[in-house]
C-alpha cells in the first residue's frame, strides 16, 4: 500500500499517515458559514481537501473513507445578513448553500453522488451541542453565567499546543472580548442567549444558540466519533477556532484523542496582495466563472501551488493554465478511458499533497505522448471533466493570442501578395512549428491551436 506522509501542524513535522482504522479513514474539514457567496480564498481549502479525499479513496478504497465537511448555518454573520436583506434566515442559508454547491461543483468538487461524504448542518445537531456543553460543565471545564455558558480556558493545560503558543501570548495577540460574565477574558462562548427575533433553542440555560466552535466539536463527534484521523481547514482557523475545538472535545471526552493529524492550508492572495474589499481585489468564485474563467482553470491554478505555501492568484497564471488545459484536452480527445493514473502522480500526492509535482508529471506525460495515462491522471485530479468540444467552446483562446495569430496570418498573406515567397514560407513554417494548425481555403484561413501550441515560439515570429 502507498505510504502517505502528511505535515501535521500539531507536531510541526511531516509524519507517516497511519489511520486508526484503515477500513474507515475519517476526515473532518471546517465548512462554510453560509451567509454569502464563497470568495476565491474560501475555495482553496475546498479544493485542497478534495485532493486529499481523492488520494485517501484511491489508497484505502472508496468505501473506506468518510469525509465530513459541515455547513455552519447558525452564526451571528448569518443573523446580521438576513436582517440587512430583510429575508428569513433559512431562506438566506438555503440559497447560500445552493450557491456554494454550484460554485464548488464548477471547481470539480461535487459530492452529490458520493457515498463517503457527509455534510451536517449545525442546526441539525443542537441537541449534541447541548449535551457536550453539559458534560463540560459537569467536568469543571465550563460555567454558566447570565444565560451564557463559557469554556474555562485555564482548566485545560494543553490549550495552545496546536499553535505552539502559551495562553498568555495568545491573549496578547488576540482580540479577546472582555465581558462582565467572564471569569477570564480568554474564556470563550459555548452558548449564548437569543432574543425573540434571533434563532434560538431551549436549553438548561434558557433559550439561546451555540457558539461557532462547539458546532464543529459536536458534529465531528456525531459523525466520526471521539477519535478520528484528519482535521483540516485554513491556517486562519488554527487559533482560536481549532484550539477551541480541541479544548472542548478533549475535555468532554478525555479518553478520546479527537483529531490526530491537523492539516492547514495557507491563504490565497491576489496579484501579491491580500484579497480585500478595500483594495478592490476581492472577488467571488462566481465572479470569475461569470467572466468566463472556466472552473477547471481555477482548480488548475490552485493545484500549481503547494497547499502549505501562500497562493498568489494572478491573471497570468490563469491564462497559462487555460493554454495548458487546452493542449491536454486536445491531446486526449481520442481517450477511451482505459488508462491508469500514473504512479508518479500518486507518489507526489502521497508526499504531503505535492500537487505542484503532480502537475510537473502531467507535463512529462504530455511530452512523452502518453495520452491514456495523461487522461486518467487528469481525471483523478478532478480535471478533464468535460468533452474537448465543450471545453473549446467554454474556453476560447485568449484575446492576446488570437490577435497575435491573426497578425501573423495577415503578414503571411501580405508577403504572398507582394510575391515575397521566402518570407511567406518562413511565416507558414514558423506558425506551424509553434503548434498552430492553419486551414487555408478559397474563402480565407481558419486556425486552431494544436496540442503542442507554444506561445513563446509564436511570439518569436513577430
Ligand atoms: P470564513 O468564511 O472566513 O469562515 O472562511 C471559510 C473558509 O475559507 C475557512 O476554511 C478559511 O480558512 C478559508 N479562507 C478564508 N479566507 C481565505 C483565504 N484568503 N485563503 C485561503 N483560505 C481562506
Ligand atoms: Zn471547525
Residue-wise pLDDT for 423-452, tens only, equals: 999 999 999 998 887 877 666 777 766 656
Separation of alpha carbons 232 and 259, rounded Å: 9
405-419: burial string, b at 16+ Cβ within 10 Å, e else? beebbebbeebeeee
User: Does any ligand 1 atom lie closer than 6 A to the CB of residue 45?
Assistant: yes
Residue 250 marked in a binding site: no
- H/E run at residue 428: helix 421-433
Give the residues across from 67 on adjacent strands: 27, 117
Q: What spacing in Å lies between the alpha carbon of 233 and ligand 2's midpoint?
A: 8
- The mean pLDDT of the chain is 93
Residue 253 marked in a binding site: no
The reported pLDDT for the residue numbered 442 is 67
Q: What spacing in Å lies between the alpha carbon of 46 and ligand 1's midpoint?
A: 10
- Structure pTM? 0.87
Task: Provide the 8-state DSSP code for 386.
Answer: S
User: Does any ligand 1 atom lie closer than 6 A to the CB of residue 33?
Assistant: yes
- Does residue 340 carry a pLDDT above 60? yes
Q: What spacing in Å lies between the alpha carbon of 274 and ligand 1's midpoint?
A: 12
Separation of alpha carbons 199 and 267, rounded Å: 32
Q: Give tens-digit pLDDT for 241-275.
A: 999 999 999 999 999 999 999 999 999 999 999 99
User: Does any ligand 1 atom lie closer than 6 A to the CB of residue 234?
Assistant: yes
> Helix, strand or coil for residue 340?
coil
Q: Which ligand lies nearest the alpha carbon of 270?
A: 1
The reported pLDDT for the residue numbered 320 is 81
Residue 251 marked in a binding site: no
> Helix, strand or coil for residue 6?
strand
The reported pLDDT for the residue numbered 450 is 63
Mean pLDDT value across residues 6-26: 98
The reported pLDDT for the residue numbered 438 is 80
Share of the chain above pLDDT 70, in %: 96
Ligand 1 atom 16, closest CA: 41
Residue 30 marked in a binding site: yes
Which structural domains are found in the chain, ordered by start? 5-268 (3.40.50.620), 292-393 (1.20.120), 399-459 (no CATH)
Separation of alpha carbons 259 and 227, rounded Å: 6
Share of the chain above pLDDT 90, in %: 78
For residues 310 and 396, which has the higher predicted lDDT (pLDDT)?
A: 310
Q: Give tens-digit pLDDT for 218-243.
A: 999 999 999 999 999 999 999 999 99
The reported pLDDT for the residue numbered 1 is 77
Mean pLDDT value across residues 265-286: 92
- Does residue 407 carry a pLDDT above 80? yes
User: Does any ligand 1 atom lie closer than 6 A to the CB of residue 128?
Assistant: no
Cell of 351: 508526499
User: Does any ligand 1 atom lie closer than 6 A to the CB of residue 41?
Assistant: yes
Cell of 5: 506522509
Residue pair 63/114 in contact by the 8 Å Cβ criterion: no
Mean pLDDT value across residues 370-375: 97
Q: Which ligand lies nearest the alpha carbon of 48?
A: 1
Q: Which ligand lies nearest the alpha carbon of 266?
A: 1
Q: What spacing in Å lies between the alpha carbon of 94 and ligand 1's midpoint?
A: 20
Residue 245 marked in a binding site: yes
- From the list 364, 307, 284, the residue with the least C-alpha distance to 36 is 284
User: Which of 44, 75, 312 to probe ligand 1 with, by most ligand atoms within 8 A of CB?
Assistant: 44
Separation of alpha carbons 230 and 352, rounded Å: 13
User: Does any ligand 1 atom lie closer than 6 A to the CB of residue 31?
Assistant: no
For residues 285 and 406, which has the higher predicted lDDT (pLDDT)?
A: 285
Lowest mean pLDDT among 142-146, 311-315, 398-402: 398-402
- Does residue 85 carry a pLDDT above 60? yes
Lowest mean pLDDT among 150-159, 215-224, 271-280, 340-349: 271-280
Cβ atoms within 10 Å, residue 216: 29
The reported pLDDT for the residue numbered 156 is 97
- Does residue 112 carry a pLDDT above 80? yes
> Helix, strand or coil for residue 274?
strand
Cell of 427: 511565416
Amino acid at each position: 500500500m502507498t505510504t502517505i506522509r502528511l505535515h501535521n501542524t500539531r507536531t510541526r513535522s511531516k509524519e507517516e499517515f497511519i489511520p486508526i482504522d484503515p477500513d474507515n479513514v475519517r476526515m473532518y474539514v471546517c465548512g462554510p458559514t453560509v451567509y454569502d457567496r464563497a470568495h476565491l480564498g474560501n475555495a482553496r481549502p475546498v479544493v485542497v481537501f478534495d485532493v486529499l479525499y481523492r488520494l485517501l479513496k484511491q489508497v484505502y478504497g472508496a468505501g473506506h473513507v468518510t469525509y465530513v465537511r459541515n455547513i455552519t448555518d447558525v452564526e451571528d454573520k448569518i443573523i446580521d445578513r438576513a436582517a440587512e436583506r430583510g429575508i428569513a434566515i433559512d431562506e438566506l442559508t438555503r440559497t447560500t448553500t445552493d450557491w456554494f454547491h454550484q460554485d464548488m461543483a464548477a471547481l470539480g468538487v461535487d459530492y452529490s453522488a458520493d457515498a463517503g461524504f457527509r455534510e451536517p448542518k449545525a442546526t441539525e445537531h443542537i441537541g449534541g451541542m447541548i449535551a457536550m456543553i453539559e458534560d463540560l460543565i459537569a467536568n469543571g471545564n465550563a460555567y454558566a453565567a447570565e444565560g451564557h455558558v463559557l469554556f474555562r480556558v485555564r482548566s485545560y493545560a494543553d490549550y495552545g499546543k496546536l499553535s505552539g503558543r502559551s495562553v498568555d501570548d495568545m491573549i496578547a495577540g488576540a482580540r479577546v472580548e472582555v465581558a462582565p460574565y467572564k471569569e477570564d477574558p480568554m474564556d470563550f462562548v459555548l452558548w449564548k442567549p437569543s432574543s425573540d427575533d434571533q434563532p434560538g433553542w431551549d436549553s438548561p440555560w434558557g433559550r439561546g444558540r451555540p457558539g461557532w466552535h462547539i458546532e464543529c466539536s459536536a458534529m465531528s463527534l456525531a459523525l466520526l466519533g471521539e477519535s478520528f484521523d484528519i482535521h483540516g481547514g485554513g491556517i486562519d482557523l488554527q487559533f482560536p477556532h481549532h484550539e477551541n475545538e480541541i479544548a472542548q472535545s478533549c475535555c468532554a471526552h478525555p479518553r478520546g484523542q479527537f483529531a490526530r493529524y491537523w492539516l492547514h492550508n495557507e491563504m490565497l492572495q491576489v496579484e501579491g496582495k491580500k484579497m480585500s474589499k478595500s483594495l478592490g481585489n476581492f472577488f467571488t468564485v462566481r465572479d470569475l466563472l461569470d467572466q468566463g474563467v472556466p472552473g477547471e482553470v481555477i482548480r488548475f491554478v490552485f493545484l500549481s501551488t503547494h497547499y502549505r505555501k501562500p497562493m498568489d492568484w494572478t491573471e497570468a497564471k490563469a491564462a497559462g493554465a487555460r493554454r495548458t488545459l487546452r493542449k491536454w484536452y486536445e491531446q486526449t480527445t481520442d481517450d477511451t478511458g482505459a488508462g491508469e493514473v500514473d504512479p508518479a502522480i500518486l507518489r507526489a500526492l502521497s508526499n504531503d499533497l505535492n500537487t505542484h509535482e503532480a502537475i510537473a508529471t502531467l507535463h512529462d506525460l504530455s511530452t512523452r505522448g502518453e495520452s491514456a495515462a495523461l487522461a486518467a491522471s487528469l481525471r483523478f485530479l478532478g480535471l478533464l471533466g468535460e468533452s474537448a468540444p465543450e471545453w473549446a467552446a467554454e474556453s476560447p483562446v485568449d484575446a492576446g493570442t488570437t490577435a497575435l495569430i491573426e497578425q501573423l496570418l495577415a503578414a503571411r498573406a501580405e508577403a504572398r501578395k507582394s510575391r515575397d515567397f521566402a518570407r511567406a514560407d518562413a511565416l507558414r513554417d514558423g506558425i506551424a512549428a509553434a503548434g498552430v494548425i492553419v486551414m487555408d481555403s478559397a474563402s480565407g484561413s481558419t486556425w486552431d491551436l494544436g496540442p503542442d501550441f507554444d506561445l513563446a515560439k509564436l511570439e518569436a515570429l513577430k
